[in-house]
Amino acid sequence: MVLRAIIIDDEPLAINVLKNYIEKVGELQLEKTFSNAIEAQSYIQNNAVDIIFLDINMPLLSGLDFLKSMTIEPQVIITTAHEKYALQSYELEAIDYLIKPIPFPRFLKSVNRIIKLRNVGNDDLQSMPTRGHIFVKVDKKRLQKIYLDEIMVVESLKDYIRIITSASKYIVHRTLCSFTEELPSDKFMRIHRSFTVALDKVDVIEGNSLEIGGIRYTIGRSYLPETKDRLLNRIIKTS
């Protein structure tokens, strides 16, 4: 399967770099390049496009505004020199966010992700359940996707939190209160001023504590009645 690609960027040098990269990938075919998003809008309405390599800072219409206005759904890979728009681009469902200058291995990794998705049969794609996730800023340059069903415990560290998942741990500059508010309330709850837990990850309840993954966590006195009530009701409903 050959994927039809277009480039939208107002920098000729950046366009030439992407052209060169695309030529190296047999599954990609470059259809056209555009120096502004207005011209590209008309093209994609009348031509089949599988991948858009999209810059952000452009004249007339920014890449993000273009993304918001799209009525069709090709895969979009953001290519920009600016890091600050990463979270917004993921919220607009861009498949990846590449920072210029873009190394070829990083470009190839992004493209291979799309190729893999396209190779999955349409019936399989429709039957695949959507996994809830959240993006967190783990350092100045990187946003990490964390699947909600992998989160076990979130621990307060004053101005930071430690997110403990089944696969790893992440330190994030957030408060426990604000982060907990973003989690689904039917799956997570605060059990202590220092802990929020995934209800389905609780292995043991004993006295004023519970156990997750072999680690015991204290349940705060004010949280104890609701915690036990919700956990016991969950056991009854799932039994």
Q: Give residue-wise pLDDT tens across range 77-109.
A: 999 998 888 888 877 888 899 999 999 999 999
CA 156 to centroid of chain Cα atoms: 23
54: nearest Cα among 34, 30, 84, 73 = 34
Cα–Cα distances (Å) from 79 to 28, 131, 161, 205, 222, in that order, read 17, 26, 31, 49, 49
For the chain, give the mean pLDDT.
87
Average pLDDT value for residue range 139-150:
81
| pLDDT value for 93 | 82
- Percent of the chain with pLDDT strictly greater than 70: 90
Number of structural domains (the chain) is 2
Determine the structural domain holding residue 154 and report its residue range. Answer: 133-238
Both 103 and 147 in one domain: the answer is no
Alpha helices in 60-138 (DSSP H): 63-69, 86-91, 104-119, 122-127
Both 17 and 123 in one domain: the answer is yes
Both 108 and 154 in one domain: the answer is no
| pLDDT value for 74 | 84
Both 90 and 171 in one domain: the answer is no
Residue ending a domain, choose from 127, 142, 166 = 127
Residue 123 pLDDT class (50, 70, 90 cuts): very low
Both 20 and 88 in one domain: the answer is yes
CATH of the domain at 34: 3.40.50.2300
